[in-house]
Structures are given as C-alpha cells and as structure tokens.
C-alpha cells in the first residue's frame, strides 16, 4: 500500500494510497467435503492411517511419499461429495484474496490547523481449508509514512495493549494508524464498549500503528467457501495544530499476506 501526500502553500496534505496485495497464496481444489478425525483446541488431525510402513524419500529431480499396507485407496465421488482415500492422498485446499482498491485519504490537512484524514479499503478472503486462514499486514519501512524525496515522516500510531479505542493526537504531533473490522477480524480489534480486545466487531474503533513485523488483522478457524468473508481496513492520518509537518508528498507501502492455518 502506498499512501501519498501532496502539498500546497505552507502545508496542505492530500493523502492518496494504494493497497498492493503482495503476499497472496492460492491452492487449487474445489467441491470437497471435509471431516476431521481428531482435534483439540490447538490442533487438528485431518487424516490418519493404520499401515506398516512408508516414508518420504527423495532423489534429484524427484520426491516420493509412499505408504505400505493401506487398502481401498484412490478417488471416488458422487453428485455431492468427493473422497480421496489413502493417507498420502490428503486434501488440496483453495485459498484466495480479492485485490484491495486504491485509497484516497481525505480531506487535505494543514500544518497550522491540523486535522484528521481518512481512507478505507477492503479485501474478501475465500478458502475451503478446514483449518481456515490468517490475514496479516506489514509496512515496508519504519515509520510507514515518509516524505517522498526524504526530509520528513509521520510517526506510526503508538501500539497499546489493548489497542486504543480512540485515535488521540498529542499537541504538535502527527500520527498514521490502522484499524480493521469484519466478521473474521482479530480479537485485538474487537470492542466491548469500553476497551479493545474483546466484545464485538466495530468499525474504525481500535487503532494501532503499522510495523515491518507482520500483525494478524483477521483469522478464521474453518472454511468459508464459496461466499468468503470481507475485512475492511481503515487508515488515518492525524495532525495536531501547529505540528509543522514538512510540506510535501508522503507515502507508505504496506503488504497484505494471506496464509492457511
């Protein structure tokens, strides 16, 4: 994601941005029904096997995964279900993420009067993975928002534990922050009416700064194919009065990464 700022006069910041999906992972498969044979709150054994041998082996340029002693292996299907029988068959999964729209943060801000500038985008994740997915975000640099050509930056919003339910800006400071909401949003972004970290989904409520280290913003413990679920990302720049942020164009680049659980 790139967030850019144009300037006029003493300082007028018009923030624009793009979300660039750079970490998407996609696996092929469709129309498969799953059932875990054993599971606990932390782990799931999707398939098990009783046999008397078989180990992975390799030799350039091939890899081999074999099993000895299994019976009734292979693929069978009906109009509703498909079965891959045999331990080494396992299941393929489908994992996909829609491209986020470009962002335009508005309105323009001045260094004397200050103010708040906002932008929003969203992504939809679909997976038939029985264990679900993780959606993470990270910034290319720290601080994430820097002046094009150098000579200035906007600090990342401080990350509190739990997250800050209000986007507050101390005197003569400027911050750039992120909030997220959606059905699958991570617990950090939930709001119970008083504080973040528990409760329910709330739009543009719990704020944090970006980091070059990935942060999970959404997750799901099961499949959501074919409908998928949407996560909305809210970006905000806040400038306090008389912050005197250097005039210019600012941008931030952020990567969204989608992973199977």
Longest dimension (CA), the chain: 78
Residue 233: pLDDT band by 50, 70, 90 thresholds? very high
What whole-number distance in Å separates Cα of residue 38 and Cα of residue 47? 8
DSSP 40-66: -SS-EE------SB--EEEETTEEEE-
Position 151 pLDDT exceeds 90: no
Q: How far is CA 181 from CA 122, 133, 197, 232, 245, in A?
A: 9, 16, 12, 5, 30
Report the mean per-residue pLDDT for the chain: 78
For residues 112-118, give the mean pLDDT: 86
Asked if residues 75 and 85 have their Cβ atoms less than 8 Å apart, the reply is: yes
pLDDT of amino acid 8: 28
Distance, CA of 143 to CA of 53 (rounded, Å): 54
Burial class (CB in 10 A: 0-12, 13-18, 19+), 25: middle
Q: Please report, for the chain, the start and end positions of each structural domain, with discontinuous segments joined by +.
A: 2-28+95-260
223 vs 3, residue with greater confidence: 223
**Mean pLDDT (whole number) for 103-118:** 82
The pLDDT of residue 32 is 34
Q: What is the pLDDT of residue 49?
A: 66
pLDDT of 79: 79
Using 50, 70 and 90 to split pLDDT, how confident is the model at 22?
A: very low
Q: Where are the alpha helices (DSSP H) in the chain?
A: none
| Mean pLDDT along residues 145-158 | 89
Write out the two tokens for 26.
């996609």
Average pLDDT over residues 166-194: 95
Give the residue with greater pLDDT, 69 vs 32.
69
Q: How far is CA 260 from CA 3, 167, 189, 218, in A?
A: 28, 32, 21, 12
Residue 203 has pLDDT above 60, yes or no: yes
């Amino acid at each position: 994601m790139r967030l850019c700022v144009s300037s006029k006069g003493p300082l007028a910041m018009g923030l624009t941005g793009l979300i660039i999906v750079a970490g998407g992972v996609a696996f092929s498969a469709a129309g498969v029904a799953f059932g875990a044979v054993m599971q606990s709150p932390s782990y799931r054994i999707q398939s098990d096997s009783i046999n008397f041998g078989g180990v992975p082996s390799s030799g350039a340029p091939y890899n081999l995964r074999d099993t000895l002693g299994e019976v009734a292996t292979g693929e069978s299907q009906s109009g509703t279900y498909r079965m891959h029988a045999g331990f080494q068959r396992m299941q393929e999964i489908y994992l996909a993420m829609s491209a986020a729209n470009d962002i335009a943060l508005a309105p323009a801000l001045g260094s004397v009067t200050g103010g708040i500038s906002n932008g929003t985008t969203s992504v939809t994740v679909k997976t038939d993975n029985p264990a679900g997915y993780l959606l993470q975000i990270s910034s290319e640099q720290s601080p994430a928002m820097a002046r094009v050509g150098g000579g200035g930056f906007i600090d990342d919003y401080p990350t509190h534990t739990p997250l800050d339910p209000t986007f507050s800006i101390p005197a003569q400071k400027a911050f750039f922050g992120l909030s997220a909401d959606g059905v699958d949003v991570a617990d950090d972004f939930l709001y119970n009416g008083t504080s973040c970290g528990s409760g329910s989904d709330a739009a543009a409520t719990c704020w944090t700064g970006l980091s070059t280290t990935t942060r999970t913003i959404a997750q799901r413990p099961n499949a959501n194919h074919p409908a998928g679920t949407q996560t909305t990302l809210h970006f905000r720049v806040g400038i306090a009065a008389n912050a005197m942020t250097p005039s210019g164009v600012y941008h931030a680049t952020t990567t969204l990464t989608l992973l199977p659980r």
